[in-house]
Amino acid sequence: MRFNRWPQAFLSNCVPPLTQPRSNSCASQARSLAMEKPPYVCEIDAEPIHRYQIGGYHPVHLGDVMHEGRYRVIHKLGWGGWSTVWAARDLKTERYVALQIAAADSVDETREMKILRSLQTSLPASPHLIQMLDNFQCEGPNGRHNCLVLELLGPSVANLVRDKCVGDRLPGRLAKRFARSALEGLAALHQEGIAHGDIHIGNLALSLPMLEFVNEEEFMLKMGKTEVSKIQRRDGREKGIHVPEYIVRPTTFPIKISEYSGTIKLVDFGESFRNDAPLSSLHTPLPVRAPEVIFGDDLTTSVDLWSAACMIYELVVGQPPFDTFMQTKPTLVGEMIGMASDKLPDRWQPLWQSMRTSAAHNDDDDISLETWLEESYFDGQRPVDLTKNEIVQFCKIVRRLLLFEPSSRASAAEIAQDPWFDAD
């Protein structure tokens, strides 16, 4: 039986956090704190307050002005394990931006920052890639922090589907539009010799054209009133300078699916790499991970193409093609063999045989991509607005990407040009 639903851990609150290397001492301290009763209490459940410490989050308050008086914080967008993200007003350009403030564990320029900086020069106006507008460092009581100024985007598609869609399924017209936009963003990246490395619907974020030219009063009305709750210590002692006065509840975005006319952009370049400087492994969520990552083969931009097949499948159907419940590498590879358009390469066979001896796999359980796609889409439980013929044609598109041999996969540009993605 298949249980295709994303675990909550894969769903991002907003623009995903800047990826930071975890130090052993910080990880050990975090585990120790997690086992103890938290020293702080707050009525708003958001980022872990114990991360406000030396080497951790920077304490931010509404109205703070950063980077020599340029960016004024006006709302909170979200948080991740290694950063908090804020809506800010650029007082120089009057533009609304996302201000991503990393934890102070490392102030070295990350690979993600280097790639975003290069895209700022080579693709300054790409319609489907998040734009880095500025970057700087700030000094605070917890250390020195890397800060990225990014264009302001809305929720991830994963959150939109979870919060706004009946049966966790996008309307067909929107699924087609989002899929093509994501593929066009990938094509632009690949043209620069850059792999994203972490393609899934949690790393697609919605543009917010309805907020671009409004005044600040209207902006705040649309984003929702800011809600704060004071932080207190359980023992009644003073908090000290490392912790903010209060926690701000992240905004909920003003998105109505029936009226949405914006586009999506690829975000979170924490796993990205250049073809001429490949990584040895990736941390893409297992159900959308390319087989060459699992088998330890050379990694190129083609890793994105397998993941893109899983991503567009999920955009259309409402679930990935492969199980997300209690998934393991052996069971995943077994499912891949049933659905891929080609045979497992000979160079991967020895490792696959080793995998098979460590986990039960019944070839009789294999199901074809065509059969599973139709069963998943026409399940009788979720809204259906694409025809059977459209699903058959969509299956042919997915098949061009779900190939074990990385060099055999169709390019993102080729898939994006398919007329199937045209308007209704």
pLDDT, position 410: 98
For the chain, the C-alpha Rg in angstroms (whole number) is 22
CB neighbour burial string for 168-191, b if at least 16 within 10 angstroms, e if fewer: bbbbbebbbbbbbbbbbbbbbbbe
CA 55, 59, 60, 66 dihedral sign is negative
Q: What is the DSSP string of 103-162?
A: -TT--SPPHHHHHHHHHHHHSTT-TTBPPEEEEEEEEETTEEEEEEEEE-EEEEHHHHHH
Same domain, residue pair 300 and 372 = yes
Query: Long-range contacts for 349-353 (Cβ within 8 Å, ≥24 apart)?
Result: 351/295, 351/296, 352/295
Q: Let me know if residue 23 belongs to a domain.
A: no
Same-domain pairing of 168 and 220: no
Report d(CA 160, CA 203) in Å as an integer. 12
Alpha-carbon distance 110 to 100, whole Å?
14
> How many alpha carbons fall within 13 Å on the CB side of residue 317?
28
Same domain, 101 and 171: no
3-state secondary structure of 268: coil
Query: Looking at residue 14, what is its pLDDT?
Result: 47
Q: How many domains does the structure of the chain reveal? A: 2
In a domain, 286, yes or no: yes
- Do 70 and 177 sit in the same domain of this protein? no
On whether residue 70 sits in a domain, the answer given is: yes
Cβ pair 89, 27 in contact under 8 A: no
Evaluate whether residue 321 is within a structural domain. yes
Do residues 69 and 100 share a domain? yes
CA angle 374/380/384 to nearest 5° reads 70
Whether residues 199 and 215 fall in one domain = no
213 and 316 inside one domain: no
Q: Which segments of the chain have a pLDDT < 70?
A: 1-36, 106-107, 358-366, 423-424
Q: Following DSSP, what letter does each residue of 232-249 receive, concatenated?
A: EETT-----TTS-SEEEP
Specify if 251 maps to a domain: no
Instruction: Round to whole Å and give the CA distance between 417 and 401.
Output: 14
How many whole angstroms separate alpha carbon 192 and alpha carbon 117? 13
**Main-chain dihedrals φ then ψ at residue 385, nearest 5 degrees:** -135, 10
Domain of 109? 41-47+57-151+207-245
Angle, helix 329-339 to helix 369-377, in steps of 10 degrees: 100
Residue 282 sits in the same domain as residue 196: yes
167-219: pLDDT as tens digits: 999 999 999 999 999 999 999 999 999 999 999 999 999 999 888 889 999 99
Q: What is the sign of the dihedral through the CA atoms of 346, 196, 418 and 163?
A: positive
Same domain (yes/no): 121, 222: yes
Residues found in the chain: 424
**Is residue 304 located within the same domain as residue 194?**
yes
Q: What is the pTM of this model?
A: 0.86
Please report, rounded to a whole number, the percentage of residues in the chain having pLDDT higher than 90: 76
The verdict on residue 331 lying in a domain is: yes
In a 13 Å sphere around the CA of 118, the CA atoms on its Cβ side amount to: 14
CATH code of 413's domain? 1.10.510.10
Residues 206-223: tens digit of each pLDDT:
999 888 889 999 999 989
Question: pLDDT of 284-298, one tens digit each?
Answer: 999 999 999 999 999
Who contacts 148 (Cβ-Cβ below 8 Å, separation ≥6)?
Answer: 18, 99, 100, 102, 113, 116, 132, 134, 135
What does the pLDDT look like over 130-157, one tens digit per residue? 999 999 999 999 999 999 999 999 999 9
What's the CATH number where 68 sits?
3.30.200.20
Give the three-state DSSP class for 293.
Answer: helix
* Together in a domain, 217 and 186: no
Residue 341: inside a domain, yes or no? yes
Do 162 and 141 share a structural domain?
Answer: no
Instruction: Output the pLDDT for position 169.
Output: 95
Q: Which of 152, 148, 120, 124 is nearest to 136 (CA)?
A: 148
Both structure tokens of 285: 């969520």
The reply to whether 194 falls in a domain is yes
